[in-house]
């Protein structure tokens, strides 16, 4: 009983901080995207390719959530983008307070689009609002089409799914029809991009959509 009460309080406190983040981001006309996925679905590679595609068009910033290492942050920094690293020290998700602190290191920059790369985990991050505009789930074809029904919360609360590694589709048992049918059950409004971060196939639709969304928020 104590556990349930505390979690409710924790989530309540997180929601208040997330609402505060959201007000700040909105006042700045900033598009904030919370990228969530399993380990190894290709979030960082997708970010690298997105940064390259948007170079010279949109000012980007990245907040990198990771348990211990700064490997992903280094990969993003190598692309010439401002990045703030959050080490969660074993905690399985980012929370709104971590984002508030990380944002204080970025707020002086003329950023139009802020990516938050969450900890690789399909379960815990779904429960924590960070104050983002849009939640994007990255799922790779090699993980299997059954993941939508097995991890419904993260798909229910997202506005976009990126189905990554479509170059590996011929070598897997991934069933696109079953995937789309299950998405219809769980979240009929969700938008799907099919792409390969590795080969670049389908990437243009994703980056053009980002440009469009940034345009909607210009103040």
List contacts with a copy of itself (CB under 8 A): 2-3, 6, 10, 38-41, 66-69, 71, 90, 92, 119-124, 127, 140, 142-144, 146-147, 149-153, 165, 167-168, 171-173, 198
Give yes or no for a contact between 43 and 65, defined as CB atoms under 8 angstroms apart.
no
The burial of 181, by beta-carbon neighbours within 10 Å (0-12 exposed, 13-18 middle, 19 or more buried), is given as middle
Shortest Å, Cβ 153 to a copy of itself: 7
Least distance in Å: CB of 92 to a copy of itself?
4
| Least Å from the CB of residue 170 to a copy of itself | 9
- Shorter beta-carbon distance to a copy of itself: residue 5 or 108: 5
For the bound state, the minimum distance from the C-beta of residue 144 to a copy of itself, rounded and expressed in Å, comes to 5
Name the residue among 11, 26, 31 with its Cα closest to residue 211. 31
3-state SS assignment for residue 164: strand
Residues 83, 111: Cα–Cα separation, whole Å: 11
Phi and psi at residue 191, in whole multiples of 5°?
Answer: -100, 140
Distance, CA of 82 to CA of 60 (rounded, Å): 7
């Amino acid at each position: 009983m104590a556990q349930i009460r505390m979690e409710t309080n924790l989530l309540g406190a997180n929601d208040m901080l997330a609402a505060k983040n959201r007000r700040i981001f909105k006042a700045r006309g900033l598009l904030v995207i919370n990228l969530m996925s399993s380990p190894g679905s290709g979030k960082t590679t997708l970010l690298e390719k997105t940064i390259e595609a948007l170079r010279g068009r949109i000012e980007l910033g990245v907040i990198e959530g990771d348990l211990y290492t700064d490997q992903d942050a280094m990969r993003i920094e190598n692309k010439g983008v401002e990045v703030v690293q959050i080490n969660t020290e074993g905690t399985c998700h980012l929370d709104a307070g971590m984002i508030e602190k990380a944002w204080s290191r970025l707020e002086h920059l003329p950023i139009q689009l802020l990516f938050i790369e969450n900890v690789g985990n399909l379960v815990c991050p779904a429960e924590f609002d960070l104050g983002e505009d849009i939640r994007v789930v990255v799922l790779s074809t090699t993980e299997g089409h059954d993941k939508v029904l097995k991890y419904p919360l993260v798909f229910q609360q997202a506005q976009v799914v990126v189905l990554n590694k479509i170059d590996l589709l011929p070598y897997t048992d991934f069933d696109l029809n079953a995937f789309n049918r299950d998405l219809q059950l769980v979240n009929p409004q969700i938008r799907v991009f099919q792409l390969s971060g590795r080969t670049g196939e389908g990437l243009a639709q994703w980056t053009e959509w980002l440009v469009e969304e940034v345009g909607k928020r210009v103040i």
